[in-house]
Chains A and B, each alone.
Chain A
Amino acid sequence: GAGVSQSPSNKVTEKGKDVELRCDPISGHTALYWYRQRLGQGLEFLIYFQGNSAPDKSGLPSDRFSAERTGESVSTLTIQRTQQEDSAVYLCASSGGRYTGELFFGEGSRLTVL
């Protein structure tokens, strides 16, 4: 696609429910990143996929968070047993192809846990 696409754009869920957030990176981009941005704060790295290499999961805050990526395409970020502190915007970015070194961001998925 022309840009990074994320869905859903907004998600409201009850505490304890599981949620899945989806990211479609730019075609041909080998790198994919997930970030969390709490209200009024900077971007917090969660996980990084590079091609078929093992992902860098060092930013995941707890074992309730997991992410998968199929090859160099779609990625899904899953949050199990959501807590109120999980409320944030989850941003996906891709990089690579001709423009290695630039991150192209999606519009984010805003998660609200009640």
Chain B
Amino acid sequence: KNQVEQSPQSLIILEGKNCTLQCNYTVSPFSNLRWYKQDTGRGPVSLTIMTFSENTKSNGRYTATLDADTKQSSLHITASQLSDSASYICVVSAGTGNQFYFGTGTSLTVIP
């Protein structure tokens, strides 16, 4: 069964600290994996895309990793800011890239 699981479900950290969010998947055939950020009341926005051959990709303070063997991905946020407070959703696409499987998201709250 194609599934995407994320952990933790929620996280509270102090401003300036780092954090890492996890995503495990059992989607096959794997096409790519994206991390989306969803601010409260807004639609999700793509942060990074990871294809099968990529291990690490950075986008500013966000760094995503992918281990295709263990089917795990992580999103590391460095020097967190209050504006990082959002839900982070792991989305794995399968087949030709138009089938999407969603994790339930990690709710991150950054406090001063």
Mark A residues whose CB is within 8 Å of B. Answer: 4, 31, 33, 41-43, 45, 48, 50, 91, 93, 95-96, 100-108, 110
Contacts and interface: CB of A to CB of B under 8 A. Distances in A.
A33 to B, nearest CB: 7
A101 B31 contact: yes
Contacts of B41: 107-108, 110
A101 B105 CA distance: 19
A45 B46 CA distance: 18
B89 interface: yes
Q: For chain B, which range describes its interface: under 10, 10 to 19, 20 to 34, or 35 or more residues?
A: 20 to 34
A100 B45 CA distance: 15
Contacts of A96: 98
Q: Secondary structure of the B side of the interface?
A: strand
A4 B42 CA distance: 12
Given A101-B97, A106-B43, A107-B43, A43 B102 contact: yes
Given A101-B32, A105-B45, A50 B98 contact: yes
Interface in B27-57: 31-32, 34, 36, 41-46, 49
Contacts of A41: 104
Contact of A102 (B42, B43, B46, B89): B46
Contacts of B42: 107-108
A48 B102 CA distance: 15
Contacts, number: 52
A102 B44 CA distance: 11
Contacts of A45: 100, 102
14 contacts: A41-B104, A42-B89, A42-B105, A43-B44, A50-B98, A91-B44, A95-B98, A100-B96, A101-B98, A103-B46, A104-B46, A107-B41, A108-B41, A108-B43
Nearest to B6: A42
Nearest to A48: B98
Nearest to A30: B98
B9 to A, nearest CB: 10
